[in-house]
């Protein structure tokens, strides 16, 4: 079975001496849950480059630094598809506390609005299945 490559970004900032992680919800689709930025790696695309592209497309943030690959695994999605996942730590120094953004990647995201905000703890929100799997690596 072929696994789809997915790049996930734990986008971090430090505010009031506390590490925070960027998360978002779909403005008009509450059942989509709270997520971190991620996306499919294109054919012949490096996962690092995919992470940069996905952050820019999904969040609108242009100035950030991809620090390190935190984890890589194989994971079965609820639809039975296998995902080869790559989780990156990303640092962003200048951002608002909250904002909305219309993703620019097209496809299934065309016409959507993502509402971004920051969390400081795993207990702040419940992320959708699979998105919080390595959260402790950046919050500890």
Closest by CA to 7, choosing from 27, 37, 43, is 37
Residue 138 is inside which H or E element, if any? Answer: helix 136-139
Question: What is the chain's mean pLDDT, rounded?
Answer: 94
Give domain limits for the chain. Answer: 4-139
pLDDT at position 138: 94
Above pLDDT 70, what percent of the chain? 99
Predicted confidence band at 88 (pLDDT cuts at 50, 70, 90)?
very high
Above pLDDT 90, what percent of the chain? 86
- Residues 6+ away with beta carbon under 8 Å from 22: 11, 12, 13, 36, 37, 59, 92, 95, 116, 117, 118
User: Following DSSP, what letter does each residue of 6-19 receive, concatenated?
Assistant: EEEEEEEEEETTEE
pLDDT at position 37: 97
Check pLDDT > 80 for residue 140: no
pLDDT digits (tens, 9 = 90+) for 98-135: 999 999 977 777 889 999 999 999 899 999 999 999 99
- Residues 6+ away with beta carbon under 8 Å from 124: none
Q: Strand 38-40 and strand 4-15: pairing?
A: antiparallel
User: Following DSSP, what letter does each residue of 13-66 receive, concatenated?
Assistant: EEETTEEEEEEEEESS-GGG-EE--EEEPPTT--HHHHHHHHHHHHH-----EE
Check pLDDT > 70 for residue 1: no
Closest by CA to 47, choosing from 66, 30, 34, is 66
pLDDT digits (tens, 9 = 90+) for 22-52: 999 999 999 999 999 999 999 999 999 999 9
Pick the CATH number of 4-139 from 2.60.40.1180, 3.30.1330.10, 3.40.190.10, 3.90.79.10: 3.90.79.10
**Per-residue tokens: 113:** 């609005």
């Amino acid at each position: 079975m072929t696994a789809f490559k997915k790049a996930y970004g734990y986008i971090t900032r430090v505010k009031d001496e506390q590490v925070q992680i960027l998360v978002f919800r779909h403005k008009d689709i509450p059942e989509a849950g709270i997520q971190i930025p991620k996306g499919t790696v294109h054919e012949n695309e490096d996962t690092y480059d995919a992470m940069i592209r996905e952050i820019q497309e999904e969040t609108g943030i242009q100035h950030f630094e991809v620090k390190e690959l935190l984890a890589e695994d194989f994971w079965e999605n609820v639809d039975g598809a296998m995902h080869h996942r790559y989780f990156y730590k990303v640092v962003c120094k200048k951002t608002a506390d909250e904002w909305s953004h219309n993703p620019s990647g097209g496809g299934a995201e065309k016409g959507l609005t993502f509402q971004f905000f920051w969390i400081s703890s795993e207990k702040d929100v419940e992320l959708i299945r699979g998105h919080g799997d390595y959260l402790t690596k950046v919050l500890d």
